[in-house]
């Protein structure tokens, strides 16, 4: 038995992203169960995770349901004491818990004006006073954490921790709505956009190719502001350099072209997630760089 994680749309559900970031970067195996938000399937999915009413929700290997992202983080931290979900040092841990809780319950202006959207960036968004006040507070907290505790790495407390999980969708919002922030925040945002788990999550969302009504602004769209993406495209037929799928080891049936080379996969989702961000997938990178 492993953990199960219920999520909504990868492109739009910021809390689902946090749920995933509690597993993938910490190397905790999980089976992801997803459904389109606001659909009958979403209700059915959550019925299986009762009494949760929102995503993310998880089931432990023992079958216990845990919901509310902060409760999930604490449960995982308690169950995996050898994994540093929180910083080791007590003062750092206390502050990490404080700012994660503040994120969990706060920053409503930013969250409602700038819903998470991992499809693209928007040009010309004008943040109002309340959004700017949220941003100022966030930058203040980030610089306190980085200055006091961040020496060992690029994350708020140096190494990746639950605090970074909580602020990941804030980082993507700053990037996709081009919100005005200082150098420290810009550097931290860039670290998030380059994080392999976030890149894979986004690629899976792009592969779904779904636009959630009401989540896109009526503003000109800009390309994804993360690390430059290699330009791959789906093609109808092979042959491909590889006879077996880099992910499953099964015979290839679906193909993409990259740099004039053809690669094959065992299903359209694996092909499309690779088209979305080829370098996000170590098993593909291995055959591409061979």
Ligand X SMILES: N[C@@H](CCC(=O)N[C@@H](CS)C(=O)NCC(=O)O)C(=O)O
Binding residues (CB under 6 A) for ligand X: these are 8, 13-16, 37, 54-56, 68-69, 104
Query: Could you tell me the smallest distance in angstroms from the CB atom of residue 188 to ligand X?
Result: 22
φ/ψ region of 98 (left if φ > 0, alpha if ψ in -120 to 50, else beta) reads alpha
What SS3 state is found at 51?
coil
Judged by CB, which is closer to ligand X: 71, or 243?
71
Q: Name which of 46 and 207 has its Cβ closer to ligand X.
A: 46
CB nearer to ligand X: pick between 110 and 266: 110
Confirm if 79 and 40 have CB atoms less than 8 A apart: no
The full DSSP string for 141-201 is HHHHHHHHH-TTSSBTBBB--HHHHHHHHHHHHHHHTT----HHHHHHHHHHHH-HHHHHH
C-alpha angle 242-248-249 in degrees, rounded to nearest 5: 45
* Smallest separation, CB 252 to ligand X (Å): 35
Min separation Cβ 104 and ligand X, Å: 6
Shortest Cβ 63–ligand X spacing (Å): 20
Smallest gap from residue 8 Cβ to ligand X (A): 5
Pick 15 or 160: Cβ nearer ligand X: 15
- Nearer Cβ to ligand X, position 55 or 170? 55
Report how far residue 221's alpha carbon sits from residue 121's, in angstroms, rounded to the nearest whole number.
6
Of 11, 19, 214, the residue nearest 120 (C-alpha): 11
**Residues 6 or more apart in contact with residue 220 via CB below 8 angstroms:** 122, 123, 124
Distance of CA 160 to the CA centre of its chain: 14
Residue nearest to ligand X (CB): 54
User: Which of 33/54 has CB closer to ligand X?
Assistant: 54
What whole-number distance in Å separates Cα of residue 272 and Cα of residue 248? Answer: 15
Distance CA 109, CA 89 (A): 32
Closest approach of ligand X to the CB of residue 201, in Å: 13
């Amino acid at each position: 038995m492993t953990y199960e994680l219920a999520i909504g749309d990868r492109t739009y559900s910021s809390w689902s992203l946090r749920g995933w970031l509690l597993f993938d970067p910490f190397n905790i195996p999980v089976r992801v169960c997803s459904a389109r938000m606001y659909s009958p399937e979403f209700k059915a999915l959550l019925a299986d995770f009762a009494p949760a009413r929102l995503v993310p929700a998880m089931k432990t290997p023992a079958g216990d349901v845990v919901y509310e992202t902060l409760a999930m983080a604490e449960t995982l931290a308690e169950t995996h004491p050898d994994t540093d979900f929180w910083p080791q040092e007590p003062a750092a841990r206390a502050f990490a818990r404080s700012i994660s809780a503040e994120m969990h319950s706060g920053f409503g202006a930013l969250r409602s004006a700038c819903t998470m959207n991992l499809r693209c960036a928007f040009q010309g968004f004008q943040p109002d006073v309340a959004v700017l006040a949220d941003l100022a507070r966030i930058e203040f907290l980030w610089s306190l954490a980085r200055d006091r505790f961040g020496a060992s790495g690029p994350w708020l407390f140096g190494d990746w921790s639950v605090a970074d999980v909580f602020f990941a969708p804030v980082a993507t919002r700053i990037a996709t709505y081009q919100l005005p922030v200082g150098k420290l925040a810009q550097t931290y945002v860039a670290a998030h956009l380059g994080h392999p788990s976030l890149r894979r999550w986004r690629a899976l969302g792009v592969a779904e190719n779904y636009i959630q009504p009401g989540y896109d602004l009526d503003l000109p769209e800009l390309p994804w502001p993360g690390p430059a993406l290699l330009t791959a495209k789906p093609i109808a037929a092979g042959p491909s350099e590889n006879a077996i799928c880099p992910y499953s080891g099964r015979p290839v049936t679906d193909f993409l072209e990259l740099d004039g080379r053809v690669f094959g996969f065992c299903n359209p989702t694996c092909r499309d997630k690779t088209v979305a961000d080829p370098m996000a997938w170590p098993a593909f990178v291995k055959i591409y760089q061979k």
